Structure 1
Amino acid sequence: MNSRVGWITEVSLLAAFITITGTFKLPGIFPGTEFQLSAPLAVAICAVFGFTKYMTAGIVSSAAGLILGTQSLLNVGIAMIFRLTVGLIIVAFGRSWPVVALVGPVGSAVARLALGGIIGKAAIPLVMAAIPGMCYTALLAWPLTVVLKRVKIRKGKVTGDAV
């Protein structure tokens, strides 16, 4: 298969995964404490497929959300802050399990602090409300990374591509 076609296909599938899992949220006890299932998946995508594919898939996912009307520019901005934080930390510190487990909560905290700054409300309560979701992200990011690694390796065996 043409490497460009394969790259586009892979990015498109990753964007679809991010978009679809972003629509599922586990409810929290209080408003603002819900957990978005796309967070640990996004961390795993970055760890397995690298920064460029991760950011490209995230931009495609955000564009789809804007086109479908399921996201606003504020949502996209906050998501991009999360993505940049996660991606840059993984680029800087590697893909070991402690980094993968902790980068999601750090990205969520930075995104919530930015949200607080943008809307002019107390940022610390926004971060505190995200703590349950941060715990879920920390717990799920590494197992999802292992699954995606297996999928990527299997894909290489099926198509004969280099992994």
Structure 2
Amino acid sequence: MLSRVGWISEVGLLTAFITITGTFKLPGLLPGTEFQLSAPLAVAICAVFGFGKYITAGVLSSVIGLILGTQSLLNVFIAMVFRGVVGMIIVLFGNSWPIIVLAGPAGSAAARLALGGFIGKAAIPLLLAALPGMMYTALLAWPLTVLLKRIKEHKGR
């Protein structure tokens, strides 16, 4: 069990990881198909550090993005749908590798469908544009989970 200072420190570091990786996007071949590096990291954070730290770090990251002007309210809406779905899947089904691999793409799909509903535009093209990023997230989430588990096990030594 972490002390209050330890918990705050861990959440602060996780917030920084999400915020910084969220600023990096790998370009796609078509507009709207870019891949945000924070997606697989967020899945790994939820799996390793639990939903409470994950959602707290995610909300703080969104607040920082709003303050810095790097995110809009629409970006935060999409991110929160992603976080909610990923968190719900991991909380309900556990953190085995198949769940970790599927949670990110499910969160991305839900976020794109919610965006389509919110803006009143066809959600299917939005979903199709997200497919490359979903594949990257599925491929990277498990290795990042393993890495974060190793780091967490070795902290303080």
TM interval, shorter chain, is: over 0.9
Deviation for aligned residue 1:139: 0.3
Residue matched to 2:60: 60
TM-score normalized by the length of structure 2: 0.98
Residue matched to 1:151: 151
TM-score normalized by the length of structure 1: 0.94
Task: Specify every segment of 5 or more residues in structure 1 that has no aligned partner in the other structure, as ranges.
Answer: 159-163
Task: Specify every segment of 5 or more residues in structure 2 that has no aligned partner in the other structure, as ranges.
Answer: none
Query: Does 2:110 align with 1:128?
Result: no
Task: Name the SS of the counterpart of 1:134 in structure 2.
Answer: helix
Residue matched to 1:100: 100
Residue matched to 1:7: 7
Task: Name the SS of the counterpart of 1:153 in structure 2.
Answer: helix
Q: For this pair of structures, how many residues does the alignment match?
A: 156
Deviations 1:60-114 (A, max 9, x none): 1000000000001111011000000000000000000000001000000000000
CA RMSD of aligned residues (A): 0.8
Matches within 5 A, 1:1-80: 3-80=3-80
Residues of 1 paired with 2:139 and 2:46: CA distance?
Answer: 16
Aligned identity (percent) is 77
What amino acid is aligned across from residue 42 of structure 1 in structure 2?
A: A
Residues of 1 paired with 2:67 and 2:24: CA distance?
Answer: 18
Residue matched to 1:161: none
Residues of 2 paired with 1:72 and 1:136: CA distance?
Answer: 24
Spell out structure 1 runs of 4+ moving beyond 3 A: none
Residues of 2 paired with 1:154 and 1:63: CA distance?
Answer: 30
Residues of 2 paired with 1:33 and 1:116: CA distance?
Answer: 15
Residues of 2 paired with 1:74 and 1:27: CA distance?
Answer: 20
Residues of 1 paired with 2:137 and 2:125: CA distance?
Answer: 19
